[in-house]
Amino acid sequence: MHASSQIQSRASLRAILPLLSLLSVLALVIMACGESTNNTSSSTTTGSSATSAPTAKPKATFAHFGDGTFQVGKDIQPGTYRTREGSSGCYYARLKGFGGSVEDIIANNTTDAPAIVTIAATDKGFESQSCGTWTKDLSQITKSKTTFDDGMYIVGTDITPGTYKNTGVQGCYYARLRNFSGSLDAIIANNNVDSTAIVTIASSDKGFESNGCGTWTKQ
């Protein structure tokens, strides 16, 4: 009777052991699934944080070039360019040819102050000496739109229309401009004075040029 009980106990253990093994395997599977879910959640959270980070806006770039002689349409493109700061002894010229003669010059200028020029698609070349960098960035260069010194300015962008008076300097030249071609046709009105001057810049004017005039202040 005792031996029979031992046999039954061993048989019961054999039946229970596979069941325990199966339960252990199921527990391991459940744990693994839980870890996988946690990892996926963590990864999703991290990805979401990275996606929500603000993207920096790229800075605007403008066509530009330095001193030299250039072929229009090949080395540089036509358009309106400016030097955003003055450069001593700056000389520039729009060219109809490269012969080096006066006849090859469409328009030219010499200045120590900031300049603006419109290069036409029909121009053959453009020459720049000691002018620094020319750029298509035509944004404001003045600190004040109602008080400014020598230079070439865009009306409405750099200076406001109105009546201005200068400080009175000998050898002053100023001009109201309808465009920045540099030709005589671009001049609406101009003057040379050696004393105080007063000029009214119209809202329809495209530009204003001042050389050796001191400071202009809106009245």
Of residues 199 and 31, more confidence is placed in: 199
77 and 130 housed in the same domain: yes
Task: Answer whether residue 55 is part of any domain.
Answer: no
> Last residue of a domain, which of 139, 156, 178?
139
Q: Could you tell me the pTM of the whole model?
A: 0.74
Distance of alpha carbon 127 from alpha carbon 143, whole angstroms: 29
171 and 207 housed in the same domain: yes
131 and 156 housed in the same domain: no
> Last residue of a domain, which of 105, 139, 173?
139
Task: Answer whether residue 47 is part of any domain.
Answer: no
133 and 144 housed in the same domain: no
Task: Answer whether residue 124 is part of any domain.
Answer: yes
Taking a C-beta distance cutoff of 8 angstroms, is the pair 147, 196 a contact? Answer: no
pLDDT exceeding 90 applies to what percent of the chain?
Answer: 72
Distance of alpha carbon 206 from alpha carbon 176, whole angstroms: 8
How far from the centroid of its chain's Cα atoms is residue 12's Cα? 85
Q: Which range marks the domain in which residue 207 is found?
A: 140-219
Of residues 120 and 17, more confidence is placed in: 120
**Closest alpha carbon to 215 in 138, 146, 140, 131:** 146
Which residue shows structure tokens 């996606």? 51
81 and 97 housed in the same domain: yes
Task: Answer whether residue 57 is part of any domain.
Answer: no
110 and 76 housed in the same domain: yes
Taking a C-beta distance cutoff of 8 angstroms, is the pair 155, 161 a contact? Answer: yes
Predicted pLDDT at 53? 63
Predicted pLDDT at 169? 87
Please state, rounded to an integer, the average pLDDT across all residues of the chain. 84
Taking a C-beta distance cutoff of 8 angstroms, is the pair 121, 190 a contact? Answer: no
- Write the pLDDT tens digit of every residue in 179-217: 999 999 999 999 999 999 999 999 999 999 999 999 999
E strands in the chain: 64-65, 68-71, 79-82, 90-95, 105-111, 116-119, 125-129, 134-135, 147-148, 151-154, 162-166, 172-177, 187-193, 198-201, 207-211, 216-218
- Write the pLDDT tens digit of every residue in 123-178: 999 999 999 999 999 999 999 999 999 999 999 999 999 999 999 889 999 999 99
Distance of alpha carbon 101 from alpha carbon 109, whole angstroms: 16
Q: Is the pLDDT of residue 93 over 70?
A: yes
108 Cβ neighbours under 8 A, 6+ residues apart: 91, 92, 93, 94, 182
Give per-residue burial for 6-24: e unless 16+ CB within 10 Å, then b.
eeeeeeeeeeeeeeeeeee
Task: Answer whether residue 51 is part of any domain.
Answer: no
Of residues 26 and 186, more confidence is placed in: 186
How far from the centroid of its chain's Cα atoms is residue 180's Cα? 22
**Closest alpha carbon to 138 in 120, 125, 156:** 156
Task: Answer whether residue 107 is part of any domain.
Answer: yes
Q: Is the pLDDT of residue 52 over 50?
A: yes
Q: Is the pLDDT of residue 81 over 50?
A: yes
Predicted pLDDT at 15? 46
24 and 99 housed in the same domain: no
Predicted pLDDT at 133? 98
Task: Answer whether residue 86 is part of any domain.
Answer: yes
Structural domain total, the chain: 3
Task: Answer whether residue 54 is part of any domain.
Answer: no
Q: Is the pLDDT of residue 105 over 60?
A: yes
